[in-house]
Amino acid sequence: MAAPWRDVVRDAAAVRDAAAVAVDAALLAGVLMRTGEQPLSSDVVNYAPFTLLPSAVPRALFEQAYAVQQDFNLLVDAISQNKEFLEQTLASTIKVDDFTARLFRIYMQVLEEGLAQTVFLGINRSDYMFDCGLDGTAALKQIEINTIAASFGGLTSRTADVHRLVLKVLGKTKEASRLLPNNPAKGLALGIAKAWELYGSQSAVVMFLVEEIQRNIFDQRCVENELWNRNIRVIRRRFRDVFEKGSLDGSRRLYIDNQEVAVVYYREGYVPQTYDQQNWEARLLLERSRAVKCPDIATQLAGTKKVQQELSRPGTLEKLLPGRPEAVARMRATFAGLYSLDEGEEGDKIAATAIADPERFVLKPQREGGGNNLYGEELRQVLQKIKDSPERTSYILMDKIKPQPALNYLLRAHSPLQVSECISELGIFGVYVRQGQEMVLNEAAGHLLRTKAIQHADGGVAAGVAVLDTPYLV
């Protein structure tokens, strides 16, 4: 891939000056996080980590990622309504993975009772890397679709301005003018506002369901403030609050602290550690309610790694989206190789291949949030250990994507300024709203570029590995 900043990246004095400007610009623009020491207070904040320079992204792949987003929105929505598919696909997983099993139990329970919810809101982020082929050409390959709590749509709405300024400081005024505007926070809020409106109660609020530790609160505030701008009330509550104060009325309207809740936007709830018995009860209460859940539990399940792996099987996309061959082709073109480790010949064979050549693969459990996948020697050891046990079924295998690294500086508070070899991951935010069977909104809402040093195999911004970036189209 082209390296647009070759002339400045090794100019120590210019880099030092630009980095100082960049950090202050990020603070001024609101690219902020609370600190690890004081995650519950905004008295002390710092800038969220970001790259000094915007990273090169091939224009054709960037446009391809945008062009396929509405298809993925439709696909996720279709999966969430397909009980037979979810049941069959997750059957082997829920035998061995307790977390997925518990989510699935709630899913079945609300279906049996009958859904009270009639308006559906999906906010997802489809993530990609640029796989570098043997001939040096890059291809867009999907890493995963996040269907719950996809973050950084807020902070990334402000990074382009910072990078624009940095480029100017470095004498790249023309290049600065080419950075694209990007405002996922607004797009996300638009979807939430639409769902709120269709829910149809002026006095009802939007509830952000938030974590106990709230370092990334500013990212969420960007979306919250967009809602306040539309005169929609927003409240923030934890699962614990819902357990203690949440209730349903006779028609399963959700109330908390005497306020009716129209939309529940989960920024929490995707890792097992969140849930004790009381929080599971709170989750069930929310799912049973008439409120618009973003996502509902079916859509959360649609985002599991196991579902992703099954989607790559020949014929599956066609079955889920009949009569849409173009959409199917666009989506399939972004799929990397994905393999089931279910018990049986197919799983035995791919497990043996991965043990023999671990560098070709990534081993993934049914977890979200970064830092869970296994690579290289560790992958080999774990797979060797579980290859003849049912535990194998709780993982999937994926071809490892190998992007072309580029030099950049990762700016992090209290860290030295040093050049790193980096690779990037592009995310496209998708938003859709469905009322009954009618899709009333289906859009790509903006993008997120995250960049990390190549020595880290895994992990996102929240995990302290990747940093925020801005695409520079080449």
In the complex, the smallest distance separating the C-beta of residue 364 from ligand ADP, rounded to whole angstroms, is 6
Give burial (CB, 10 Å; 0-12/13-18/19+) of 295.
Answer: buried
Least separation in angstroms between CB 138 and ligand ADP = 14
The verdict on whether 174 is a catalytic residue reads: no
CB of 249 to ligand ADP, least distance (A): 36
- φ/ψ of 25, rounded to 5, equals -65, -40
Question: Among residues 241 and 458, whose Cβ is nearest to ligand ADP?
Answer: 458
Among 400, 434, 448, 462, binds ligand ADP (CB under 6 A): 400
Asked about 225 being catalytic, the answer comes back as no
Please give the size of the binding site for ligand ADP, defined by CB under 6 A. Answer: 18
- Could you give the residue ranges of the DSSP H alpha helices within 97-153? 98-113
Q: Which of 82, 144, 233, 391 is an active site residue?
A: 144
Active site residue 146: yes
Residue 183 annotated as catalytic = no
Stretch that binds ligand ADP, among 68-76, 241-249, 378-386, 394-402 (CB under 6 A): 394-402
The residue from 92, 146, 183, 408 that is catalytic is 146
Distance CA 73, CA 37 (A): 38
Question: Contact region for ligand ADP (CB under 6 A) — 165-173, 229-237, 252-260, 392-400?
Answer: 392-400
Closest CB 467 distance from ligand ADP, rounded Å: 12
The yes or no reply on residue 370 touching ligand ADP (CB under 6 A) is yes
The verdict on 350 binding ligand ADP (CB under 6 A) reads no
Residue of 144, 132, 145 lying closest to 401 (CA atoms)? 132
Q: Is 63 a catalytic residue?
A: no
- 360 flagged as catalytic: no
> Rounded to the nearest whole angstrom, what is the least distance from the CB of residue 367 to ligand ADP in the complex?
6
Minimum distance, C-beta of residue 130 to ligand ADP, in the bound complex (Å) = 11
Cis peptide before 416 (omega within 30 of 0): no
Name the residue nearer to ligand ADP (CB basis): 69 or 373: 373
- Residues in binding site for substrate: 125, 148-151, 214-216, 220, 267-270, 450, 461-462
405 contributes a contact to ligand ADP by CB under 6 A:
no
Task: For residue 234, list its beta bridge partners.
Answer: 206
Binding site residue list for Mg(2+)? 144, 146, 368
Residues comprising the chain, all counted = 474
438, amino acid identity: E
Q: Given the residues 172, 237, 434, 450, select the one marked as catalytic.
A: 450
Catalytic residue, chosen from 80, 126, 368, 434, is 368
- Closest distance to ligand ADP from the beta carbon of 91 (Å): 22
Let me know if 450 is a catalytic residue.
Answer: yes
Residue 422 in contact with residue 410, Cβ under 8 Å? yes
Q: Is 252 exposed, middle or buried (0-12, 13-18, 19+ CB in 10 A)?
A: middle
Q: Which is nearer to ligand ADP, 14 or 463 (CB)?
A: 463
Cβ–Cβ under 8 Å, residues 223 and 185: yes
Among 425, 428, 448, 449, binds ligand ADP (CB under 6 A): 425
Say which amino acid occupies 426. Answer: L
Nearest to 272 by CA among 372, 421, 409: 372
Cα four-point dihedral sign 86, 89, 94, 98: negative
Task: Indicate if 387 belongs to the active site.
Answer: no
Q: Could you say whether residue 373 binds ligand ADP (CB under 6 A)?
A: yes
Task: Tell me which H or E stretch contains 405.
Answer: none
Binding string, residues 98-137; x marks residues near ligand ADP by CB under 6 A: -----------------------------x----------
Give the CA dihedral 149, 239, 190, 436, nearest 10 degrees. Answer: 100
Q: Out of 46, 80, 124, 125, pick the active-site residue.
A: 125
Does position 354 interact with ligand ADP (CB under 6 A)? The reply is no
Q: Which residue ranges make up the annotated binding site?
A: 125, 144, 146, 148-151, 214-216, 220, 267-270, 305, 364-373, 375, 398-401, 425, 450, 452, 458, 461-462
> Which residues in the 138-167 window bind ligand ADP by CB under 6 A?
143-144
Q: List the catalytic residue out of 141, 290, 305, 392.
A: 305
What 3-state class would DSSP assign to 362? Answer: strand
368 is catalytic: yes
In the numeric block, which tokens belong to residue 45?
Answer: 């904040």
Amino acid sitting at position 161: D
Q: Which residue is nearest to ligand ADP (CB)?
A: 401
Q: What token pair was written down for 160?
A: 């382009």
| CA-based torsion, 430, 431, 436, 438: positive or negative | negative
- Phi and psi of 456, rounded to 5°? -95, 120
What distances in angstroms separate CA 174 from CA 59, 179, 371, one per listed residue? Answer: 17, 10, 38
131/69 Cα distance (integer angstroms): 19
| Distance (Å, whole) CA 426 – CA 447 | 7
Residue with tokens 């700016």: 411
Catalytic residues: 125, 144, 146, 151, 305, 364, 368-369, 450
* Residue ranges in contact with ligand ADP by CB under 6 A: 127, 143-144, 336, 362, 364, 368-370, 372-373, 398-401, 425, 458, 460
